[in-house]
Amino acid sequence: MPLSPQIRQYLIVTGNYWAFTLTDGALRMLVVLHFHQLGYTPLSIAFLFLFYEFFGVVTNLVGGWLGARLGLNRTMNVGLGLQVFALLMLAVPAAMLTIPWVMAAQALSGIAKDLNKMSAKSSIKLLVPNAQADSQQTLYRWVARLTGSKNALKGVGFFMGAALLSVLDFTGAVMAMAAVLAIVWLLSIFTLTQDLGKAKNKPKFSEIFSTSRAVNYLAAARLFLFASRDVWFVVALPVFLSTTLGWDFAQVGGFLACWIIGYGAVQTIAPRITGRNKDHVPDGKSAFLWAIALAGLPAFIALALAAAWPPTMVVVTGLLLFGAVFAVNSSLHSFLIVSYAKEDGVSLDVGFYYMANAMGRLLGTMLSGWMFQVAGLSACLWISSGFIGLAAVISLALPRGK
């Protein structure tokens, strides 16, 4: 049975996203492991990714406008091309791998990642058949599969990066990834539908900021949701596992990779968890309730550590519970933004929303290093709980009902 044009385009978009995500996860692990071998501290390594996060904010804001004017096929292909170039930037002699050079390459990779993600998420809105009676349920399932598979593959990318580094040297690893991604990029150029997602009316640059009340509130909730994760996950947790629990680098990287794979798997099945009733489509009330369920977990971990419970058991169990509930929250948000976004120029709303996501990641990353250095993991956990509480309060303003 031949596939419909929408399904074929969905598979191409998903394949592009998967290929990119594998290289994104592998590159992060390659950089972390390589510079760890060179003697850099965990905090110094984290700052190598500063521009990666910062340019995510800028890219999502401007990328949504570009997608509406030029088409999502073009922004996705530009993202793939930039990632190939970023990989080639790192395939230089070791003497040239200075901190500014690596930060510049990571900046390009950050731009590429958010162009790719914004394009993929926006495309789904246009590819789901609106004529279906359960189009919102279908949209939720498609978004959940795309988002969940992406995060699972990012974890696989962590393993792939470590494996490549053990088989090849750093230069050989990035060259191999650049070659494979270049093939995907060329295939994408010739197979993606032309003008996918291009707005009928060319949006002005001033329209990069959303005028939708629902999108604005959801973006604010998303900012605090992702800041709540990264404030303890990005820097504080790996350093805590290494210095306090005495884990070696392979144990830390392997555990975090498995966590991300599990996180992605839960995202994929989130529609089954939140929509057991077939006619139920998540709304603002769902976002509020799931945020409330998440808010207590970081606080519980902090209290358990203060009570001198076994730290390995507390942190590992707490992180697994946090990951599962956070994954449902994230999947809910990903569905709501695609649902709220207007169809003509969908990337404007999606880009604005993921700009807030990137701002949350940037805020969380910077606070993670600073607060852990000043006050330890427990302080990061309390801030995380407070951020989730803010996300829950903001979610009260989101629309309810179909």
pLDDT in tens, 232-276: 887 788 778 878 888 876 677 778 778 888 888 888 887 777 765
From CA 391, how far away is CA 393, in angstroms rounded? Answer: 6
Which residue bears the tokens 């990951």?
323
Measured over the CA atoms of residue 273, residue 319, residue 56 and residue 364, the dihedral's sign is: positive
For the stretch 8-31, pLDDT in tens is 777 777 788 888 888 888 888 788
Least confident segment among 23-27, 52-56, 200-204, 358-362: 200-204
Half-sphere exposure of 206 (CA within 13 A, CB side): 0
Q: What is the pLDDT of residue 190?
A: 84
**All residues at 6 or more sequence positions from 110 whose CB lies less than 8 Å from its CB, including other chains:** 51, 52, 53, 54, 55, 56, 59
* Cα-Cα end-to-end distance for the chain: 34
pLDDT value for 133: 42
The conformation of residue 168, written as its DSSP 8-state character, comes to S
What 8-state DSSP symbol labels residue 210?
-
- What is the torsion angle, in degrees rounded to the nearest 10, for the CA atoms of residue 103, residue 106, residue 110 and residue 112? 130
The packing angle between helices 346-375 and 99-127, to 10°, is 140
The Cα–Cα gap between 352 and 348 comes to 6
- Comparing 374 with 228, the larger pLDDT belongs to 228
Both tokens of 99, joined, read 């901190």
Residues 6+ apart with CB under 8 A from 159: 29, 254, 257
Ranked by mean pLDDT, which of 19-28, 72-81, 270-279, 283-292 comes out on top? 283-292
Q: Is the dihedral of CA 297, 299, 304, 310 positive or negative?
A: positive
DSSP 385: H
Between the CA of residue 64 and those of 94, 112, 283, 314, what are the distances in Å? 36, 13, 24, 41
* Per-residue model confidence as pLDDT tens digits over 162-216: 778 778 888 888 999 999 999 989 988 888 765 665 555 555 555 555 567 888 8
> What angle, 0 to 180 degrees and rounded to 10, lies between the N-to-C axes of helices 50-70 and 346-375?
170
Give tens-digit pLDDT for 374-400: 888 899 999 999 999 999 999 999 887
Lowest mean pLDDT among 121-125, 263-267, 360-364: 121-125
158 has pLDDT over 50: yes
Domains contained in the chain, CATH given: 5-395 (1.20.1250.20)
